[in-house]
Amino acid sequence: MRVICLLVLMLLFNGSSSIGDSKNVSMRPDVVDIGALFSFSSMIGRVGKIAVEAAVEDVNSDPSILGGTKLKLSLHDTNYSGFLGIIESLRFMETKTLAIIGPQNSVTAHVLSHIANELQVPLLSFSATDPTLSSLQFPFFIRTSQNDLYQMAAVAEIVDYFQWRQVIAIFVDDDHGRNGIAALGDQLNEKRCKISLKVPLKPDASRDEVTDALVKVALSESRILVVHTYETTGMVVLDVARSLGMTEPGYVWIATNWLSLLLDTNSPLPSSSMENIQGLVALRLYSPDSALKRSFVSRWTNLTNGKASSGPLGLSTYGLYAYDTVWMLAHAINAFLNEGGDLSFSKPSKFTGTDVGTLNLNSMSIFNGGKTLLHRILDVKFTGITGRVEFTPDRDIIRPAFEVINIIGTGERRIGYWSNYSGLSTVPPESLYSKPPNRTSSNQKLYDVVWPGQATQKPRGWAFPNSGRRLRIGVPRRVGYQEFVSQVEGTDMFRGYCVDVFTAAINLLPYAVPYKLIPFGDGVTNPSGTELVRLLSTGVFDAAMGDIAIITNRTRMADFTQPYIESGLVVVAPVKKLNSNAWAFLRPFTPKMWCITAVSFLVIGAVVWTLEHRINDDFRGPPKRQIITILWFSFSTLFFSHRENTVSTLGRIVLLVWLFVVLIINSSYTASLTSILTVQQLSSPVKGIETLISNNDPIGYQQGSFARNYLIEELGIHESRLVPLVSTEHYVKALNDGPTNNGVAAIIDERAYVELFLSTRCEYSIVGQEFTKNGWGFAFQRDSPLAVDMSTAILRLSENGDLQRIHDKWLMKSACTSQASKFEVDRLQLGSFWGLFLISGLACLLALLIYLFLTVRQYSKHYPEELGSSERSSRSSSLHRFLSFADEKEEVIKSRSKRRRMQEASVRSMNEENSTCSSRKHGHDDGYDIDA
């Protein structure tokens, strides 16, 4: 019975399932309409039309994809016209079209996306690569190939890889070109590069218009040209460039994927066209090798037979993406139908009651299931002939990648790959996906490139423009220290150390640099170096030459060369000679050092006396004698002439350590005193920047120097204390007057100035240490390639000795021979010896602790009864007995202890004898009683 019930249930279940399945099948339409918009005569359109038709045929021949439903494809030709594209798209909207494959270009996509938003019909484009189409404004636009944002990221990484900093962008002035170049600018900014010149072209620009544009490019500085156009316009640009000599060595041409499209579709190109593109670097959409891809490539010849009237039609990467787009849509429609998607259409309420005239907008309808189908498209995951097909949260195809190719001879050579995962590499991107991403500069690699003009060496990337404009170089008109830079009176010429270094460096450059020196400043006051550098960022000057210190806030406004002279802030103050006197022998040590040293001698004497007192007769006697012994022993160790011998091991260890300390102190004292008595000493009340910070005396600084801001902002010195000084004469007067006579206590200035100032004025000197470190360099506008080349030239000047010869010519003066004299030698401080004193103190402390332990132990051993009764006796009496014990000579204590032990032994023996006699007597008495 149970078996019969189970069979009945199974039959019922199978029957209901069959009914359900037939119901689902019956709900599926036999045909769904999709549309496609291309320009059939364009390269992308010709390839795309064939690929889409082949894909529709393959999908319809595979019943497992749509479960019996067929795709009905309607193709419309936009004929390169955006207007026709709009009209044809509106015709699609009058039918029951679920989705549209297209449009082909970004310009039409922007317009049609608004229509798609209203009627909720997804647009799937494999060739509209404008990055802005991925914005939230166009939810129904789906890009099924790679976004130009990633292509521009690849271009930016190529530019950065070859260490170029400026590029010129040549582009078609439409949505495709403008937005692509805007993305390139953003990507270059992340690499600290920039677009120095944008050259827009009309989509149908004539040869004359292209020529006019490229003439401006030829007059520009950068030689790195990025071409982001369409195929026909791009080839016109390169043809004109060759006629203008812009494909010769020194130029770099980088083409986006329009060139690879041309090579893939129309290969081989005519020899004249190949000559125009020699040495170019181009990008191609990358798809990994697979069996599916190889199979489709092998079918391509059969697919194009009889369909390409203008000759053989090659398969471009856009054809691969077009094929996968149809399969993507088929998978999405299948998922949409499986979940019972709404295939109905409704009239747009916005058009009701609207006077639309003859536009017949009322015939258009909204796809009610459009949003659901859109989600199913974005959820698609499958492997196609372009690789893994899947969307990111930003609605871009995952794993964007490009091939980097170099045009050589009659063909091309792959020099590497770019992927969003690992950047530039020479191995296919799919081999890197299993490894952690590594975007470090050392991991970025490309094979060698053959550049335009058959050049194998990497081009510099820039050249001086042929516009006739000379480099504008700002030069400060100094009032003081004109040895560094000064204007020759009555001329526009300059002279000085900085000018000679600049001229020598610029003469070493491998190219001519036309320049003009422009004075900066009124000639009455020293101009601000920071203000001069700021004018570079505003475009007033192209560069700045002179005594310009390289400091942090200036590096934010300009690029600096390698420093050509080291400098830093120092303190200059009046000094006076110190003559030796009767008390010169006290000067090597500070008072604190003298006091600590004297106390240490006394402590060592006391410690050695304590350790030797009980066993050494030299350290015993009347109190007066013992005090004299301590003093004599202590200070005689200074000369290693102590006559008392140390007997104890602990005493010898302490003395050994102390004699080492004395040796160091003696040597240091002798060296310092020798220096004081034999070398001329200079003294100043100002010891360095610390002295100036701690007091309120006025401080001088050179007018226009960065020292003023540094003292106020970094050191917290009030600006009321700062006195600007213009020339060396002002320096002398201010220092001689001093802080009490409206002068200054010291001057803070850069070492380069100070050394020149002190070379002829011996009454002043640098006091303290240099408290900042910087150098002087030439400033250029940000990202100027001249900064790097000038740095190289300065290094060459340093290596061949020319830099030193220029320095000696202008800055080497020997009028003040006393400058070799030392400033007052620092007196020996306690800090230089505290380690020695610490070691000696620890040795003394350890020896005393061991000695105390041994003494207490001996005391407890010889006088145990004293310790036993110590609890009953007073603490003072116990301490007195212990000190008396410690004061006794150890031999006496040992002798007394020996006698005590003998007496105790004698007493014990007598007691034993008495005990024996008593026992015997008791025994006799007992025996007598028994006998009785």
- Going from the C-alpha of 827 to that of each of 573, 580, 662, the distances in angstroms are 19, 15, 18
**Rounded to whole angstroms, how far apart are CA atoms 145 and 585?**
90
E strand or H helix at 557, and its extent?
none
* The 3-state secondary structure of 758-773, one letter per residue: HCCCCCEEEECCCCCC
31-141+316-349+360-386 CATH pick, 3.40.50.2300, 3.30.70.260, 1.50.10.10, 3.40.50.11540: 3.40.50.2300
Cis (ω within 30 of 0) for the bond into 268?
yes
Tell whether the torsion through CA atoms of 529, 532, 538 and 544 is positive or negative. Answer: negative
Query: Looking at residue 363, what is its pLDDT?
Result: 65
Q: 153 and 186 in contact (C-beta within 8 Å)? A: no
Q: 568 and 771 in contact (C-beta within 8 Å)? A: yes
State which fold the 471-567+776-811 domain adopts.
D-Maltodextrin-Binding Protein; domain 2 (3.40.190)
Please tell me the CATH code under which domain 682-773 is placed.
Answer: 3.40.190.10
Q: Alpha carbon 379 to chain centroid distance? A: 39
Query: Looking at residue 609, what is its pLDDT?
Result: 79
* 31-141+316-349+360-386 and 148-290+400-443 have identical folds: yes
pLDDT tens sequence across 42-101: 889 999 999 999 999 999 998 888 888 999 998 888 876 667 767 776 777 667 889 999
Query: What are the residue boundaries of the structural domains of the chain, listed by start?
Result: 31-141+316-349+360-386, 148-290+400-443, 471-567+776-811, 584-678, 682-773
Residue 188 in tokens: 């270059």
**Rounded to whole angstroms, how far apart are CA atoms 253 and 244?**
14
In the numeric block, the tokens 């550098």 are attached to 533
State which fold the 148-290+400-443 domain adopts.
Rossmann fold (3.40.50)
CB-hemisphere CA count at 13 Å for 766? Answer: 20
Query: Looking at residue 917, what is its pLDDT?
Result: 59
pLDDT tens sequence across 415-442: 999 999 999 999 999 999 988 988 888 8
In the numeric block, the tokens 């007091």 are attached to 695
Q: What is the DSSP letter of 289?
A: -
Tell whether the torsion through CA atoms of 592, 598, 604 and 607 is positive or negative. Answer: negative
Q: Which residues of the chain have pLDDT under 50?
A: 1-26, 356, 358, 817-825, 870, 872, 927-932
Nearest to 476 by CA among 556, 530, 552: 530
* Residue burial 413-442, b: 16+ Cβ < 10 Å; e: rest: eebbbbbbbbbbbeeebbebeeeeeeeeee
Query: Looking at residue 875, what is its pLDDT?
Result: 63
Nearest to 133 by CA among 170, 102, 88: 102
pLDDT tens sequence across 297-347: 999 988 888 665 566 788 999 999 999 999 999 999 999 999 888 888 887
pLDDT tens sequence across 121-176: 999 999 999 999 988 899 999 999 999 999 999 999 999 999 898 999 999 999 99
Query: Looking at residue 26, what is its pLDDT?
Result: 42
User: Exposed, middle or buried, 590 (CB in 10 Å: 0-12/13-18/19+)?
Assistant: middle
- Going from the C-alpha of 409 to that of each of 257, 406, 412, the distances in angstroms are 19, 10, 8
**Amino acid identity, position 638:** L
Bridge partners, 32 (sequence order): 71
Nearest to 459 by CA among 163, 795, 158: 163
Nearest to 240 by CA among 214, 274, 275, 219: 214
